[in-house]
Structure 1
Amino acid sequence: MKPTTVIGFLGSTLDAGKFGPERWSKWRPSVSICMQEDLRVDRFVLIHGKQHRRLADFVVKDIESVSPETEIVPHAMEFKDAWDFEEVYGKLLDFAREFPFDPDNQDYLIHITTGTHVAQICLFLLTEARYLPGKLLQTQPRRGKPQPIGTWNSIDLDLSRYDSIASRFAEASEESASFLKSGIETRNPAFNRMIEEIEQVAVRSRAPILLMGPTGAGKSQLARKIYELKKLRHQVTGPFVEVNCATLKGDGAMSALFGHKKGAFTGAVQERPGLLKAAHTGMLFLDEIGELGLDEQAMILRAIEDGRFLPVGSDKEAQSEFQLIAGTNRDLTSEVAAGDFREDLFARLNLWTFTMPGLAERRGDIAPNLDYELERFAEREGARVTFNKEARERYLAFAESPSALWQGNFRDLAASVTRMATLCAGGRIGRDAVKLETRRLSNLWSGETFSSTELAQLLGEEAFAKIDPFDRAQLEYVIEVCSRSDSLSDAGRTLFAISRANRKSVNDADRLRKYLAKFGLDWASHFA
């Protein structure tokens, strides 16, 4: 049996009484918990106010006398108004978030007999929401002759009996939905409704979730956020294991997913547990699940239904309990009809299916995602970069227009921001940087490259055809630097920053002017 920890309030009335021997004929809830013959309490976290310190010390000594094996942990918690729901709920929520819960190795009982009615309700709600990962504990005195032990029992959680206060969850639910969106203030109504539904499913169900949508729509990031939300609620304790099924091919797919025994095949020099085993008590994200073969699909189906599977080369089944999230950019209905995806597996996955829209379908969300990507760049590179007002307006005008295809979805946006932020001077993205980036994106989506369009236009088709590919690559970069620089000298300093440090006298502008002249280009005509 796992050790048991009880968490509850000191009863300022029920636990109080005369301090003489007659107290042992009175039922006192906090003491009676530790006197039960069929309930072993290894640790008791006793919450009390500072004004009840003397009573708490007295109750602790009595518990120690009847249950020496119990570790008592007094925990002072002050309320300005113990009947104020917002204050009590907030402080108990902070307590729950900071407490080092370990549900894999500990059982928790949340005592709701003591404390104000508001405190009892808050403990109930936090337990139902899994912020307190335990069962509710109720104690009461025996009828008839007075005696100190009383009775105890665990009670079922039935939130429907508390509909009048169910609205208290609205704020927590909104907070969870924002968490799933990485704090991005998205504006697309359909997307926001989908996230709200995913939040409800994530915290109330362990059934598989299927995320559909194009590559780059954010399926992987959302799957990880679902995992992190469930971990905050103490609903999973194991790791998040992400697998790109498109990389699993042939015999190696079975081994990677389900593991193998030593000697199962040539090269199996040692036992391998497999990714399903690694996800035990956690979450497994199978991205591009439509790429799996039919045999792997059959074993995945059994694993999510029974928690069992057979490693390669083994005659003994392995076990793993995990929640599955599957992602795909394929139409699985069509795949089933074509015989390329198992109908029974699709039926199992199709309980909770959510289709992620591409960025082109969420143009109103580009602005907040632009700010999010700048924040990610700052965290990653340690340098904060911003747009000037005109540059931001120009970029958004392009990004939100129908001409912006966003074929790579959020990956295109992330790459775009990274390029502009990396190449900008002084931490400010200006108009020229935006002009260069929007031209690059247009070329990317049209399938054209800089060398086949801009360079040919600058040089002329005949001159362009006479340049070696090696020189083209160098010239393309030089032209990009020139396009975003304010002057010939500024461009020269950027291009020759390393070599100029080793020379006593430098004239970067002249050096760059001569390089451009080799290709018939000059600053005043083409870049000023």
Structure 2
Amino acid sequence: MAKTQARRTVVLGMLGTMLDGGQGPRRWERWRPTVALCQQDDLLVDRLELLYSPNAAVLAATVTEDIHQVSADTQVRGVEVDIQDPWDLEEVYGALLDYARSYPFQPEQEDYLVHITTGTHIVQICMFLLVESRHIPARLVQTAPPSGRDRGPGKYSIIDLDLSKHDRLATRFQQEQREGLSFLKAGIDTRNAAFNQLIARIEQVAIRSRAPLLITGPTGAGKSQLARRIYALKKARRQVNGPFVDLNCATLRGDAAMSALFGHVKGAFTGALSDRPGLLRQANGGVLFLDEIGELGADEQAMLLRAVEDKRFLPVGSDKEVESDFQLIAGTNRDLQAEVARGAFREDLLARINLWTFQLPALRERPEDIPPNLLYELDQASQALDTRVTMNREAQEHFLRFATSPAARWSGNFRDLNAAVLRMATLAPGGRITRENVDEEQERLRAQWRQGPPPGPGATEDPVQEVLGAAIAAELDRFDRVQLADVLTVCRHSRSLSEAGRHLFARSRERKQSPNDADRLRKYLARFGLAWGDVSRGGSPEAP
């Protein structure tokens, strides 16, 4: 049976013109890292790739000779690297990268170590980066001089940058990521898998990129809160040092929009009694959050595009450009692609801000996340009212049955949930929310959602989507959807549950001795989580 050939150990290292220097016999009295590395009893260096700059050829020859004396089995190959200024990061990295790309690595037959004790700090940093990026398939080796009066070769240590092999380091990085995800979710233990995956991607992008972020989603889905938490996460990681500046663009009108965003100089228009820096300059070094960015006018969009791309813009009335380096987070509940198609939003601006686009789901699309969000809102209500707010078990279960049913439209998303909990907490005796508080709030929410805004011009009324919401309606089979739509239409034109039942079951009731049409209709509606109050036009709730 053939004997397996041992893998060779190859060291790549830059000659240290100071640490490795020395001439004459007294040089052996000095600790020289490159020579000492080849003197280690438990580390056999089969080949040393000794890199040196053009002006260090003589020293390289001396070190090569000395290594041959202390380690005859070590092959030393001198490699001249064209580095004129070893403190120039761009020059050093470029030269070492070229060397790494041209080197015939054979990781199947050889183990590689990169010596990072010698060379300038710039050289050491570049060596580290090339190993970390796997341009050089190696581990790092670091040497240290002997202690005290010992005149030996000193010590060495090998560092593997594969963090998966370092349990404590890997655990710390995983913990840091978990903390970042929890921070972006305000500590709420959300259970919706798609939402958790979305937040994980946002965390990944937020700590690695300063490119614009576009957060879309319905009103009340949490866009502004998420933007604030992205900023706070970046601030905690020392990635920004400026402020968080936010603006709802829907509040801007006319000339005030340009002035608010880009500032103005004194005398730019009537009433401009002094200079105004504008929000873009205030956000310098930090994050600018523009909510409802689709509301900006054409002029503001053009100016914003220039500011995002060049970090420069003109304040109103000024002929001198100013600079501001900020990260933009934009929010919208509009379909900006559709806005581009109808000429209301600039295509080039959209192309610039949607490199990273994240769609926040509506609350009703995340029913499994309502329980943890309820606990969060109870804590928020406790802070707002300066008293401990609780909810007994019966009340909590009753509220969650309603809140997670198709009958709960949550058209205002988290704003509706926040307001509902705050109202119940305010009216609860001693801060303890009861079943009666929940019943009262449910009726208030049902009435609020029934009185919601009518369909827009040209819209086709869809009773199923209106009652259940688009997401849940889309999950229904076509058969069930058509049937439910007809039932809802009859209910809306009936004065009571019983009257609707008589219309719907007019034929089958003729064959029954004791028909109970109201109970039959009630059970049908319950299949979809609906009650009479959800589907009527305000008629008598249960009148026969």
Give the whole-Å Cα distance in 1 for the aligned partners of 2:125 and 2:318.
42
Letter matched to residue 310 of structure 1:
L
Instruction: Select 1:424's aligned residue among 425, 428, 438.
Output: 428
Equivalent residues in 2 for 1:89-238 (5 A)?
A: 140-141=117-118, 154-155=125-126, 157=129, 159-161=132-134, 162-165=161-164, 167-168=170-171, 169-238=173-242
Deviation at 1:282, TM superposition (A): 0.1
Distance in 2 (alpha carbons) for counterparts of 1:27 and 1:256: 64
Q: Which consecutive residues of structure 2, in runs of 5 or more, have no partner in the other structure?
A: 1-18, 20-26, 34-114, 135-160, 453-494, 496-544
Match of 2:351 among 326, 331, 347: 347
What's 1:287 paired with? 291
Distance 1:258 1:394, change over 3 A: same
Counterpart for residue 154 of structure 2:
none
Matches within 5 A, 1:492-507: none
What is the rounded CA distance, in whole Å, between the counterparts of 2:118 and 2:224 in structure 1? Answer: 53
Equivalent in the alignment of 1:507: none
- Indicate conservation of the 8 Å contact 1:208/1:323, yes or no: yes
C-alpha deviations, 1:93-118, integer Å up to 9, x for none? xxxxxxxxxxxxxxxxxxxxxxxxxx
- How big is each residue's C-alpha offset from its partner over 1:195-228, in whole Å with a ceiling of 9 and x where there is no partner? 0000000001111000001100000000000000
- Equivalent-residue separation in structure 1 for 2:332 and 2:446 (angstroms): 27
Q: Is 1:382 matched up with 2:381?
A: no
Rounded Cα–Cα distance in structure 1 between residues aligned with 2:182 and 2:133? 26
Q: TM-score, normalised by structure 1?
A: 0.56
RMSD: 2.5
State the shift of 1:163 in Å: 3.9
Query: Secondary structure of 1:234's partner?
Result: coil
Give the deviation of 1:294 after TM superposition: 1.0
User: 1:140·1:152 contact (CA, 8 Å) conserved in 2?
Assistant: no
8 Å Cα contact 1:140/1:151 also seen in 2: no
- 2:241 and 2:285 in contact (8 A); partners too: yes
- Aligned-pair distance for 1:426? 1.8
Distance 1:27 1:382, change over 3 A: farther
For the Cα contact (< 8 Å) 2:260–2:279, is it kept in 1?
yes
Which residue type is aligned with residue 406 of structure 2?
P
Structure 1 runs, 4 residues or longer, greater than 6 Å off = 24-28, 149-152
Q: For 2:447, what is the secondary structure of its paired residue?
A: helix
In structure 1, the residue matched to 2:66 is none
Alignment of 1:340-489 (within 5 A): 340-447=344-451
Cα distance, 1:139 vs. partner? 7.3
Query: For residues 141 and 268 of structure 1, do their structure 2 counterparts lie closer, same or farther at Cα, with a shift above 3 Å needed?
Result: same
> Is 1:141–1:151's contact at 8 Å kept on the other side of the alignment?
no
Q: Per the alignment, in what secondary structure is the counterpart of residue 354 of structure 1?
A: strand
Aligned twin of 2:275: 271
8 Å CA contact 1:253, 1:296 repeated in 2: yes
Q: 2:354, 2:266 → 1: CA distance?
A: 36
Q: 8 Å contact 1:301–1:345 — kept in the other structure?
A: yes
Q: Is residue 2:305 matched to residue 1:306?
A: no
Matched residue SS, 1:253: helix
Aligned residue type for 1:385: V
**Partner SS state of residue 257, structure 2:** helix
Aligned residue number for residue 10 of structure 1? none
Report % sequence identity: 61
Bigger Rg over Cα: 2
Alpha-carbon deviation of 1:382?
A: 1.9
Change (3 A) 1:424 1:151: closer
Q: Distance in 2 between matches of 1:373 and 1:294?
A: 39
Q: Cα distance, 1:160 vs. partner?
A: 4.2
Residues 283 and 324 in structure 2, CA contact (< 8 A), matched pair in contact too: yes
Q: Deviations over 1:43-74 (max 9, x none)?
A: xxxxxxxxxxxxxxxxxxxxxxxxxxxxxxxx
C-alpha separation in 1, matches of 2:297 and 2:196: 34
Partner of 2:322: 318
Listed one character per residue, the Cα deviations across residues 159-214 of structure 1 (whole Å, up to 9, x for unaligned) are 54534438442222122111100010001111111000000000011110000011
* Matching residue within 296, 301, 305 for 1:297: 301
Which residue pairs with 1:99 in the alignment?
none
Question: TM-score, length-normalised on structure 2?
Answer: 0.55
Map residues 63-102 of structure 1 onto 2, 5 A cutoff: none
CA contact (8 A) 1:139 1:150 kept: no
One-letter code aligned to 1:140: T
Q: How many residues align?
A: 313
Partner-residue secondary structure (3-state), 1:238: coil
